[in-house]
Amino acid sequence: LFRSILLKQRRFGESMRHARLALDLDPVSVPANQNLAALFHYLKQDDDMIRQYRKVLELEPRHTFAHLMIAEVLTERGLSSEAYRELEANADGTKDDPLTLRTRGEIAAILKDRAQAEDALRRLIARKSSGGVSSCYIAGIYAMLGKKDDAFEWLERAYGEWDGFLSLLQVYPAFD
C-alpha cells in the first residue's frame, strides 16, 4: 500500500525501496512480486517487468494479470505472436473479465487493429452498467486509438465516479 501511494506521488525511488523491502521480507509472496513487477511497468523498465512477472508465474502459473501485462509489453515490442500466446495462456474463462478486455483492447490499439479495439470497447461499455468496469479502462483504449475527445469524455466520467484508477493517470502507459 505504501509503495502504491509513493508511486502515485511519482516518488519512484522511495517506492522502489519499499517494494524491494517487501520482497526481501517475503520472497515467495505473490503480491510482493507483483507489486515490484507493476512498479517496473510504470517506470517503463520492461525487461525487468517481464522478468519479475515471470517470477510471479513461477509462484502462481495462472496469474491473469501477469500474463496480461507480459502480453502488452510483447505487443509494444512488435512481438505480436508471442503476445497472443501469452494471452492464450490466460484463456481459462477470463475473456470477459474487465481487466482482460481492457488489455486486449490496448493490445489491439497498439497493433492498429481498430475492429478488435472497438469490440473490446463495446464489451467494456456494455459491462459498465452492471459495475466492475473502470471508466479509465475505456478512456485508455480511446486514448491509444487517438480518439482524444472520447478519452476525455470517459475521464470526466471517471472523475464523477471517484474512480481510483485516476490516481495512476500520470504513470499508466496508455495515457502517454
d(CA 17, CA 100) in angstroms, rounded, equals 30
Residues 144/117, Cβ–Cβ less than 8 Å? yes
Residues 39/171, Cβ–Cβ less than 8 Å? no
pLDDT at residue 140, as a whole number: 94
d(CA 64, CA 147) in angstroms, rounded, equals 28
d(CA 64, CA 57) in angstroms, rounded, equals 9
134-161 pLDDT tens trace:
999 999 999 999 999 999 999 999 999 9
Residues 155/174, Cβ–Cβ less than 8 Å? no
d(CA 108, CA 75) in angstroms, rounded, equals 9
Lowest mean pLDDT among 35-44, 86-95, 104-113, 165-174: 86-95
Average pLDDT over the chain, rounded to an integer: 87
Number of residues in the chain: 176
Distances (CA, A) of 112 to 58, 146, 171: 32, 11, 22
Mean pLDDT (whole number) for 126-132: 86
d(CA 59, CA 33) in angstroms, rounded, equals 9
Q: Which amino acid is at 49?
A: M
With cut-offs at 50, 70 and 90, classify the pLDDT of residue 50.
very high
pLDDT at residue 36, as a whole number: 92
pLDDT at residue 147, as a whole number: 96
Residues 56/33, Cβ–Cβ less than 8 Å? yes
pLDDT at residue 146, as a whole number: 95
